[in-house]
Structure 1
C-alpha cells in the first residue's frame, strides 16, 4: 500500500474490548453525574438538560476517560482550559456583533490564552464557540457561564475520572516526573540519565509537548532500553522470565493463613485462584498493611492490634475480602519491556500471566532483574575474539 494511503488509516493501535468498555462506561457515568449535578447548580432556563450538560463536555470525556495519560487531559488544562475559553467566549460575544467574527475571535483568542497559561484542552475551543454562537445565553448568564456549567461541570468530570481510574486500576492524573521548567532535578528512572528539564527540552524541540508529557517520554525511553537489553540477552517475552511454580490461595482462604504464607515464603504477592487455575485476583502485602492501617485509624487502636484483629479467624475474613481484581495482567507473549510500565502505573511489583482466564505464571520485578542480570553475566563470560 502506498505511504499516502497508509497515512489515511488508523494512527493508533486497536483498543482491547475491555479497555473500550472501561472508557465507555466511565464517560457514561461521568456525563450522567455531571449532568444531574449541573441541573441543580447551573441557572438552567427551560425544561430538559439545557445548559447543565454542554456539547464540549462530550469531547472532554473522550480525553479524560479514553486518553487519561495525555497532557491535554490532565486536571489543569481541562479545568483551566475550559474556564478560560468560556470567559473569552463570553467577552467576545458581548463586544462583537457579527456571528462569524465572534466565532473566529472567540476560538482564536481562546487558543492563544490557553497556550500562554499552559492549559491547552482541545474541547475548550468548542466551549468558546458555544458562547460565541448563543448571545441569548450570554445575556442571561454573562460571565457566570464560565462558573456554571463550564467550571463546575469540568471539575465534576475530572473528579469522576480520578475515581473511575482508581476503581479500574489506572492512574489519573498522571504523575509528573519533571520539576518546573529549567530546574535541574534528578534524572527520572529509565530515562537514559536525562533530567526532567532535558526531557522537557526534547519535547519542546520536536514540538511534541502537547502530545507527550515528560513522564510519558521517560517511560518510553525506559521501555526501549529494557527491550533492547532483553533482545541482546535473548529475553523477549514474559514467557521467558515468569515464575511457573506458584503458591496460590483460594478466595475463601482465611486471612490468618494468607499471612502465614507470606511469612513462610517471603512473598510480596499471592495469586487467588479457583478450580482449574481460574484467576480471581492478587493479594499484595501492602493490601494487608493498608487494610490494617485503616482499621487502626477508624478504631483508634495500634497497628499491631489492628493486624491481629484483621487476621482473627473468628471474624471470618478471607482472601476475597482484600484481593485486588483490577490490576494489570499479561499473557505469555507480552513483551518484557511492557512489564515495568504496567507495574509502575498500577504501583505493584508483580503481574499475573493468564491464558484464557487461567493463571499460568507470575512475573515480578525480581524476575526481570534476575533474567537480565543472568544474561549480562553470561555475555561477559563469553570468550572474545
Structure 2
C-alpha cells in the first residue's frame, strides 16, 4: 500500500460532522444525568443500601445514550430496552450456569441474546453487555441466579425507561417514536397514488435487497427522503420569496378581542387561524379554531345555531379574551425569506399558519401550506409557458 493510499484509508476514519444542534446535545446530556440518577435512586429506595445487588449496572449507561441522545432510533424504543435487556439477562444467567468456562459462556450468551432479540424484534445493543454482565459479573451476580433478571435488570430498565418518557414529554420531544402520517401517505396510511419519484414499495424493496439492519425507522426514512425531494424541487425556485406567495392583507385580532368575536371572524372568513397583534402591529401570538373550541367557557357555543348561540352568549359570562387563549410561541418569517426555508417549518414543526413580517417586524401577511403549494404551481406554470 502506498503512502497516499494509506493516508486516504486512515482519513476515512474521520467521522462526519454531527448535525445535532448544541441545545439538543445539552438536552440529551441533562436527560442522561437525570435518568441515571433516577434509576440509581429508585434501586436505593426499593432495595435499601444494604442490598447485595448492584444499584446500577454498566449496560444502563449505554442504554441512556440511546434513550436520551438518539431517541428516534428503533434500537431505543420501549420494547427494545425492556425486551432486549430481559432476554439477554435470562440467556446470560442460563449460560453462566450451563458452561463452566467464562469465555465460552460469555460468547454463547451474547450470540444467543442477539439471535433472540432478532426473533423478538427487540434489538438493543446494550443488552449484549447485559448478557456479559450475567456471565462475568462475579460472585455477587452469580449468587442472584435468575433473580438477576428481575433485580436489578428489570427494575433498572423500567426506571430508566420511565425517566426517558417523562423527560422527553417535559422537554417537548417525541418519545416513544411512533410513526407519524406524512405527506406521502393517504388518510389511512395507505400507499399514495403513483407519481414521479419513489414509492414506499420502492423503499421497502431497496432495504430488503440490502439486507442490513438500518438504525432508522422506515417511516422516518421515507419522510426524510420526501422532504429532500421537496427541498430539491423548491430550490429550483430560489428567487421566490415569502412576499410573493403570502396572503395580504391579513385579518388579525388584538389581545383584548373577545374569544366570541374571534370565533365569528374565523367562521365568516372560513379561515382557521388569526394572528394576534399589539398596538404597534407586531405579532405577539396566534389563535386557532382549536384554541377557542377547547375552552369550556366558549367551546360549546359554535355547535349551536347562530341565533341560539348569540342569545345564549348574551346571558352567560362574557367570553374570555384572546390574550388568555392564544399561543404566544408563534413562528414567523420575513417578507424576503426564500420559500425554501418554509419547508422544514411546515414539514417538521407542525406549523400550518406562519405570519410574515416586514422590515419593521410588523405583520405583513400570512402563509399557509396551500399558499406555498399555489406559489410553487404558479412559478412552474410560468416557466413552462416561457419555455413554450
TM-score bucket of the superposed structures, by smaller chain: 0.7 to 0.9
2:348 matched to which residue of 1?
342
Flag the 1:36–1:141 CA change in 2: closer, same or farther, 3 A: same
Picking from 56, 59, 62, the partner of 2:59 is 56
Q: CA deviation digits over 1:20-51, x for unaligned, max 9?
A: 2332333333333333333344x466379x63
8 Å CA contact retained: 1:283, 1:323: yes
State how far apart, in whole Å, the 1-side matches of 2:366 and 2:37 are.
38
Select between 84-93 and 29-38 the one with higher mean Cα deviation: 29-38
The more displaced of 262-271 and 148-157 is 262-271
Match of 1:323 in 2: 327
**Higher alpha-carbon Rg:** 2
CA shift for structure 1 position 215: 0.5
Q: Which runs of 5+ in 1 are unaligned?
A: 179-184
Q: 1:134 to 1:383 in 2, by over 3 A?
A: closer
Tell me: CA distance 1:7–1:54, structure 2 relative to 1, closer, same or farther (3 Å): same
Secondary structure (helix, strand or coil) at the match of 1:51 reads coil
1:166 Cα shift?
Answer: 3.6
1:174-193 correspondence runs (5 A)? 174-176=177-179, 186-187=190-191, 192=197
TM-aligned CA distance change 1:229 to 1:150, over 3 Å: same
Structure 1: distance between partners of 2:332 and 2:94: 50
CA-to-partner distance for each residue in 1:171-229, whole Å, 9 max, x for gaps? 22223379xxxxxx83269994623x553332232345432221022112211221232
How far apart, CA to CA, are the structure 2 residues paired with 1:28 and 1:353? 40
In structure 2, how many angstroms separate the alpha carbons of the residues matched to 1:3 and 1:162?
Answer: 43
Tell me if 1:268 matches 2:272: yes
The gaps in structure 2 that reach 5 residues or longer are 182-188
Question: Of the candidates 7, 13, 20, which is equivalent to residue 25 of structure 2?
Answer: 20
**1:126-275 to 2 correspondences below 5 Å:** 126-176=129-179, 186-187=190-191, 192=197, 194-195=199-200, 198-234=202-238, 255-256=259-260, 258-259=262-263, 262-263=266-267, 266-270=270-274
Give the TM-score, by structure 2 length: 0.72
> For the residues of structure 2 that align with 1:317 and 1:371, how far apart are their CA atoms?
35
- What secondary structure is seen at the aligned counterpart in 1 of 2:54? helix
After TM superposition, the structure 1 = structure 2 runs for residues 274-313 of structure 1, keeping only pairs within 5 Å, are 282-292=286-296
Label 1:33 to 1:239 Cα distance change in 2 as closer, same or farther (>3 A): farther
Work out the CA distance in 1 between the residues paired with 2:202 and 2:260.
49
TM value normalised by structure 1: 0.73
Give aligned pairs, total. Answer: 361
* Structure 2 partner of 1:32: 37
53-62 or 218-227: bigger deviation: 53-62
CA pair 103-81 structure 1, distance change in 2 beyond 3 A:
same
Give the distance between the partners of 1:208 and 1:281, measured in 2 at CA.
47
- Distance, in Å, in 1 between the alignment partners of 2:262 and 2:8 is 56
RMSD of equivalent CA atoms: 4.4
Q: 2: CA distance between counterparts of 1:367 and 1:145?
A: 59
Q: Decide whether the 8 Å contact of 1:89 with 1:106 is kept in 2.
A: yes
Q: How far apart are the structure 2 equivalents of 1:365 and 1:7?
A: 42
